[in-house]
Amino acid sequence: MKRKIYHNLLIIGLFTIVCLTWGTTWVAMKITVSTVPPIFATGLRFLCAAPLLLLLARYKKAPLLFPSGQFGFQLCVTLFYFAIPFTLMLYGERYTSSSLASIIFATMPAAVLTLSLIILRERATVRQILGLAISIATLSIILWYEGHSGIKNQLCGIVALLMAVLMHAIMYVQCKKRCIGISVLSYNALPSLGAGVLLTTLGLTESPNFSTFTSQSLLSISYLGIVAGVGGVLAYFSLQKITQPFKASLVFMIFPIISIILDNIINGSSISYQSVILLIPFLFGIILILYRYPARPNAS
């Protein structure tokens, strides 16, 4: 009984950590790009995360390199999971609200399902296809409403965020085939370091004005790297190990709501009333995509 209570409390604790870190990430990114250029900021983010990830990998005796024959894919992870999409996220947040950015990224399950159907030839249930149609349709309407908000260059920000979602979804699908048996620390440690060094160096071409960096922006970068980039990611993978995938994936329902609430508290506004209402069918569509019926026991 005590073990079950401890297990349930652990699930609740990890779920809460993931929801809070992922929900606050978008506001932190918005604060970051207010004074720090996106490439340079993303590089600093990964340089904050890399030392802790390397230490954890050493402590857990997780290999830094992918298995033989997978080194090329590890480079792809560095570029197309870490360096490019996370830069696109920060770039996108320059021109969109943190609320809209979080909603766009909540479409990840829909993007992964679509690419799994195309690339892996996986089968989808009628329920999943219905959820896919609902989520894509409602997101399109939300983007249409928010596109008339008058924010300058908002379309550029939306496109950047959609590209980041697409890249992450492609890497998730590829990992279904290539990352079996690879530790989460192996997946994150060396690629984070590589992305950090690469982006910080490239970020110097943005001519960052260090005198304009605010303490809030620098604290936000540290938060993104250490709390969200290390704590949030490890908490999510730990959650996946001790509970059903559907329950772990429910974080995609919660973190946009947290982001919207924070955006309203901090900035006094977030997205239109129509978009908030459309969030209900949008999240319902994502639930339909994620839900898996429990396997039936074999007849004895």
Are 70 and 235 a contacting pair, CB within 8 Å? no
Q: Which of 17, 53, 14, 3 is nearest to 238 (CA)?
A: 14
Q: Look at the block and give the residue holding tokens 């910080």.
A: 200
| Start-to-end Cα distance in the chain | 28
Are 90 and 38 a contacting pair, CB within 8 Å? yes
Q: How many CA atoms are closer than 13 Å to the CA of 266, on its beta-carbon side?
A: 16
Residue 295 lies in a domain: no
Structure tokens at 45: 């983010």
Query: How far apart, in whole angstroms, are the C-alpha atoms of residue 179 and residue 100?
Result: 31
Checking if the pLDDT of 272 tops 70, the result is yes
Checking if the pLDDT of 1 tops 80, the result is no
Residue 297 lies in a domain: no
Residue 296 lies in a domain: no
pTM, full prediction? 0.90
Checking if the pLDDT of 34 tops 70, the result is yes
- Work out how many domains the chain is built from and give that number: 1
Residue 235 lies in a domain: yes
The DSSP secondary-structure symbol of 79 reads I
Domain with 92, as residue range(s), is 1-290
Q: Which of 179, 9, 180, 161 is nearest to 85 (CA)?
A: 161
Q: In the prediction, which pLDDT does 151 show?
A: 66
Q: pLDDT band for 293, please (50, 70, 90 cuts).
A: very low
Furthest-apart CA pair in the chain: how many Å? 72
Q: In the prediction, which pLDDT does 149 show?
A: 64
Residue 298 lies in a domain: no
Structure tokens at 181: 């048996």
Residue 119 lies in a domain: yes
Residue 300 lies in a domain: no
